[in-house]
């Protein structure tokens, strides 16, 4: 299934696509050299928004949770990438301990886990699942939608190592974002590889820190290609604590919104873009609640609008104000955004996230979204050079793979900058 | 298309398959550790013969020439493997110089070259072709069967580097086996990566040396799995110079044939195999002419039979006498043998070589052979664990990928043992 792209066949994105295609050897070489200096996250999923006039990552997840949306055709690429990753991290590994998130009642998440187990088993590891649930007593069978099952076991923490009963892993792979903070039994594991590292957990990351790193990456990449980094980077500003109930601290948000809207309008004028500028106000903490679409700073004076940001326990939060990037891709009239999946430094596949009830300027990562797997696997790596930019789906997907990898590299910079161990040598 | 396998669903091969599947994590770990010690050839193609009672490599090519037989679905795996290989060898590389063989009038070979160029271009390199032909004056266009074209240019040798006009490559990839020996302009290139190394050329390699290394690999692997190495290894003996015209030196061949037939019959008895034992007599030099199937040493007294080995300029040659491994796989009644393709340490695909006019005990690599591409890419890496051995094509292909990699590892041992540079440190 090839999505219907309503993005115009002329304009900035097509220039960007043409530039990316003609620079492919330079781009791949640049990535190779970057990955010599910077360690890629073990796995990563990047949400992109294609506005036609710009293409930007809006979310870089370090605990991807939708391997179930990849097609079976993508699995060999995933297995090969997993082999490369394992070889680099722990070539003598026999055992991999996978620690899932709490969504074990969700059949999609269970199928996702099944795929992950499959990938790492086929990469040559004994894979077993361990739960962080404190009340886990013994092994528990999880029934899978396809009739199969997975077994999840209580974790056993020794003085220096973490494992399961009769199972001592070389690597512990977290598929749990640790939203509630880092449990003690994951701390001080210096003999085993714990991936992603604890400071990558959702409770530790800040969106502003990620986009600061991504901006650095985008600027370097734009310099390599001799282009405006804005074409691949969403501008942003940040504020300290804001109380969305009492409106305390809201002035900072409003002035950031104003300043950002002005900057966006200037860019729109420069590129002759007719779209009305908007920004999104998000919680700076990862895994925060909803995202607020704002077209005017005055919108924030409305307590009902603000209420969307004060849902949950705490109406006080730090926020990031980010340039709104609409997504103009559609599948059967529903708004769609591409999601790129990576293991180690390799693009292994992707899919479209589709939401029929949402607008082009809203987040699609919300209840009611659907997923359209794409034969990304073939496409990202096989652009047809010489094909007219924009005319060929495969070319578009190569570009998605490049921007996905830029966001992943941003995450790599981010994790280096936030690594608490790194301070020791600073 | 899934081939019809007439191999029995019980017997040694299915035991081997079951053993290989249950030992997958141990096998992959073993390969990872082997590749830490030994450098895989840059690319490699291995011909296998599946006799039902044993599965053995019979030819390990270091200049694979049939990428055209891989399906488009296999290309992403090839590209990913090529990226890994380039990253390891020369991460700062921009340019790759590909030196094709002399078969430029063969449309299949041209399509093969087109695929190779595609793979390395998509891996992020500027790829250009250089010819070893001494009479090449300027760039020459090669028309491709699909209507496209490739350009091949005269090589330019500097004092220390080899390139093309305005093209200085980091890596020179030979797809030319150098049957006629090593031309001077490829010698003493110490600043560039020349792959495969010159001592891998067909004029330098000896089959007996390869199978000596493969035997070592097969024994180690068999020890890991606690099985008889004979199940994956063809026994062999070798002789010095034999004149197939005058029969001088033939006694050595005959006694080797006798000894080998006795050993094979003993193995057949041990495993209850009803097949009549046979051996093949081949030129020990790589790229030698035909292969002689012999069931009795007396067969060699017949000058007409011997004539097959004395074709070509020189009736005198060194020979290897090898256990004959019949291939019992068939596609539409034609005898078939699997061919496994690899780049760096990764299986990237494969196909069946099919020959309607040849018997199960003859070489299929002969004029008249056809090729059936297989969805190997998906299959080699995605065995269905738990499926009944022999009942599932994917499982069989995983096994082929394992034996293909063992032969590649054999080539790696072989090239280390024959490396003329290595002697310096010996």
CA dist., res. B340 & res. B334, Å (int): 19
Token pair recorded at residue A162: 């973490």
Asked whether residue B89 is assigned to any structural domain, the reply reads yes
CA dist., res. A176 & res. B266, Å (int): 58
CATH number of the domain where residue B175 is located: 3.40.50.11280
The rounded mean pLDDT for chain B is 87
| Cβ atoms A241, A320 nearer than 8 A | no
Q: Give the domain range for residue A155.
A: 72-203
Residue with tokens 């991504």: A214
Q: Lowest mean pLDDT of A9-23, B55-69, B80-94, B285-299, name the range.
A: A9-23
Asked whether residue A260 is assigned to any structural domain, the reply reads yes
Identify the pLDDT of residue A393. 57
Residue B90: pLDDT band (50, 70, 90) is confident
The torsion region of residue A48 among left (phi > 0), alpha (psi -120 to 50) and beta comes to beta
Query: Is B199 in the same domain as B216?
Result: no
Query: Is A17 in the same domain as A81?
Result: no
Query: Is B290 in the same domain as B216?
Result: yes
CA dist., res. A285 & res. A283, Å (int): 5
Query: Is B91 in the same domain as B47?
Result: no
Query: Is A118 in the same domain as A211?
Result: no
Identify the pLDDT of residue B388. 56
The rounded mean pLDDT for chain A is 87
Domain's final residue, options A203, A224, A251: A203
Identify the pLDDT of residue B286. 82
User: Where is pLDDT greater, at B208 or A372?
Assistant: B208
- Contact assignment for B121 to A92 by CB distance below 8 Å: no
Chain A: closest CA distance from residue B134 (Å): 30
Chain A: closest CA distance from residue B404 (Å): 16
Query: Is B295 in the same domain as B376?
Result: yes
Interface test mutation site (partner B, options A22, A29, A168, A347, max chain B beta carbons within 10 A) = A29
Does residue A410 register a pLDDT over 60? yes
> Is A194 an 8 Å CB contact of chain B?
no
> Is B250 an 8 Å CB contact of chain A?
no
Identify the pLDDT of residue A396. 75
Domain's final residue, options B187, B203, B219: B203
CA dist., res. A280 & res. A320, Å (int): 8
Asked whether residue A422 is assigned to any structural domain, the reply reads no
Asked whether residue A196 is assigned to any structural domain, the reply reads yes
Q: Is B350 helix (H, G, I), strand (E, B) or coil?
A: strand
Q: Phi/psi at A134 (nearest 5 deg)?
A: -75, -25
Asked whether residue B424 is assigned to any structural domain, the reply reads no
Residue A362: pLDDT band (50, 70, 90) is confident
Q: Lowest mean pLDDT of A361-370, A414-423, B1-10, B301-310, name the range.
A: B1-10
Q: Strands A316-323 and A279-283: what pairing?
A: antiparallel
Query: Is B35 in the same domain as B128?
Result: no
The tens digit of pLDDT for each residue in B196-232 reads 999 999 889 999 999 999 999 999 999 999 999 999 9
Query: Is A126 in the same domain as A247?
Result: no
Domain's final residue, options B203, B229, B246: B203
| Cβ atoms B104, B130 nearer than 8 A | no
In chain A, what residues touch B87 (CB-CB under 8 Å)? 32, 35
Asked whether residue A426 is assigned to any structural domain, the reply reads no
**Among all residues of chain B, which has the CA nearest to that of A95?**
B25
Q: What is the number of domains present in chain B?
A: 2
Q: Is the peptide bond before A310 cis (omega within 30 degrees of 0)?
A: no
Query: Is A112 in the same domain as A193?
Result: yes
User: Where is pLDDT greater, at B183 or A383?
Assistant: B183
In chain B, what residues touch A26 (CB-CB under 8 Å)? 94
Sign of CA dihedral A255, A257, A261, A267: positive
Identify the pLDDT of residue B312. 64
Query: Is B25 in the same domain as B85?
Result: no
Does residue A10 register a pLDDT over 60? no
Q: Identify the helix (H) or strand (E) that includes residue B304.
A: helix B303-307
Identify the pLDDT of residue A29. 93
Q: Is B182 helix (H, G, I), strand (E, B) or coil?
A: coil
Identify the pLDDT of residue A390. 55
Asked whether residue B392 is assigned to any structural domain, the reply reads yes
User: Where is pLDDT greater, at B359 or A423?
Assistant: B359
Interface test mutation site (partner A, options B25, B146, B149, max chain A beta carbons within 10 A) = B25
- Contact assignment for B76 to A31 by CB distance below 8 Å: no
The tens digit of pLDDT for each residue in A324-347 reads 999 887 777 788 888 999 999 999
| Cβ atoms A381, A340 nearer than 8 A | no
Chain A: closest CA distance from residue B88 (Å): 10
User: Where is pLDDT greater, at B153 or B367?
Assistant: B153
Strongest mean pLDDT among A185-189, B310-314, B403-407: B403-407
> Is A39 an 8 Å CB contact of chain B?
no
Q: Identify the helix (H) or strand (E) that includes residue A99.
A: strand A95-100
Chain A residues 338-367 with CB within 8 Å of chain B: 346
Number of inter-chain CB pairs under 8 A, A vs B: 112
With b for 16 or more beta-carbon neighbours within 10 A and e for fewer, the B256-289 pattern comes to bbbebbebbeebeeeeebeeebbbbbbbbbbebe
Query: Is B199 in the same domain as B212?
Result: no
pTM: 0.89
The tens digit of pLDDT for each residue in B311-343 reads 666 777 889 999 999 988 777 778 888 899 999
Task: Summarize chain B as % helix, strand, coil (round to 5).
Answer: 35, 25, 40
CB-closest option in A32, A72, A377 to B76: A377
Chain A: closest CA distance from residue B346 (Å): 7
Query: Is A170 in the same domain as A84?
Result: yes
- Contact assignment for A28 to B91 by CB distance below 8 Å: no
Asked whether residue A181 is assigned to any structural domain, the reply reads yes
Does residue A307 register a pLDDT over 80? no
Bridge partners of residue B235, in order along the sequence = none
Q: Report the greatest alpha carbon distance in chain B.
A: 65
Helices (H), B11-96: 12-22, 24-37, 75-89
CA dist., res. A334 & res. A4, Å (int): 10
DSSP B199: G
């Amino acid at each position: 299934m090839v999505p219907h792209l309503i993005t115009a066949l002329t304009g900035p994105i097509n220039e960007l696509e043409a530039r990316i295609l003609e620079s492919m050897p330079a781009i791949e070489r640049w990535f190779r050299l970057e990955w010599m200096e910077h360690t890629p996250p073990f796995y990563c999923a990047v949400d992109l928004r294609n506005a036609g006039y710009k293409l930007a990552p809006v979310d870089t997840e370090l605990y991807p949770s939708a391997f179930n949306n990849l097609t079976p055709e993508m699995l060999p690429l995933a297995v090969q990438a997993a082999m490369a990753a394992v070889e680099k991290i722990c070539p003598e590994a026999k055992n991999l301990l996978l620690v899932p998130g709490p969504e074990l009642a969700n059949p999609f998440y269970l199928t996702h886990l099944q795929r992950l187990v499959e990938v790492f088993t086929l990469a040559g590891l004994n894979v077993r699942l361990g739960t962080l649930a404190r009340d886990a007593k013994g092994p528990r069978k999880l029934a899978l939608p396809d009739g199969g099952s997975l077994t999840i076991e209580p974790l056993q923490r020794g003085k220096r190592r973490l494992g399961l009963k009769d199972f001592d892993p070389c690597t512990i792979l977290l598929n749990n974002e640790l939203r509630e903070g880092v449990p003690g039994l994951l701390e001080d594991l210096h003999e085993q590889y714990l991936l992603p590292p604890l400071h990558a957990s959702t409770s530790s990351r800040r969106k502003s820190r990620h986009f600061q790193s991504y901006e650095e990456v985008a600027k370097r990449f734009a310099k390599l290609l001799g282009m405006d980094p804005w074409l691949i980077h969403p501008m942003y500003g940040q504020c300290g604590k804001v109380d969305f109930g009492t409106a305390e601290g809201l002035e900072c948000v409003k002035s950031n919104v104003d300043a950002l809207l002005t900057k966006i309008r200037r860019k729109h004028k420069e590129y002759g873009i007719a779209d009305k500028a908007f920004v999104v106000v998000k919680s700076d903490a990862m895994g925060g609640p909803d995202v607020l679409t704002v077209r005017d700073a005055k919108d924030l004076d409305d307590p009902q609008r603000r209420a969307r940001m004060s849902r949950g326990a705490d109406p006080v939060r730090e926020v990031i104000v980010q340039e709104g990037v609409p997504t103009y891709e559609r599948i059967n009239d529903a708004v769609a955004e591409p999601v790129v999946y990576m293991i180690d430094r390799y693009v292994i596949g992707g899919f479209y996230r589709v939401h029929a009830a949402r607008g082009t300027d809203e987040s699609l990562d919300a209840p009611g979204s659907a997923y359209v797997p794409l034969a990304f696997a073939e496409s990202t790596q096989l652009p047809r050079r010489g094909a007219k930019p924009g005319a060929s789906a495969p070319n578009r997907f190569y570009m998605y793979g490049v921007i996905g990898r830029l966001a992943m590299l941003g995450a790599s910079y981010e994790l280096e900058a936030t690594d608490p161990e790194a301070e020791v040598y600073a």
